[in-house]
Structure 1
């Protein structure tokens, strides 16, 4: 059974094969937006500050 591969994925694979110099730029872009250092203390404070959602989202009375 063959796995599905989208046209976009095929295009990107071919593009990266033809333009290997783009690998470094791709990694820089990922580091800019996604690969951020994690701070355990900040994450703990954020988790403690979360407000649980209401059981019924559209309920307006408290």
Structure 2
């Protein structure tokens, strides 16, 4: 099995071991950006407003 860990991974592992409270903060901050509820009506509006892409971008009209 491959057991190599980069310096960055070793640093983060050590940091998380020394400060276990950071895991809760990390999850809370993740929720701000990634775990958001999507509004289906707003998503439908985005899809309806999308402009059709040309088959070949550099084709002269």
User: TM range, normalised to the smaller chain?
Assistant: 0.5 to 0.7
How many pairs were matched up?
61
Q: Distance in 1 between matches of 2:37 and 2:27?
A: 15
Structure-1-length-normalised TM-score: 0.67
- After superposition, the CA RMSD in angstroms is 2.2
- Consecutive unaligned residues of structure 2, counting only runs of 5 or more, are none
- Consecutive unaligned residues of structure 1, counting only runs of 5 or more, are none
Structure-2-length-normalised TM-score: 0.67
Runs (4+) of structure 1 exceeding 6 A deviation are none
1:1-62 correspondence runs (5 A): 1-2=1-2, 5-61=5-61
Deviation at 1:4, TM superposition (A): 6.3
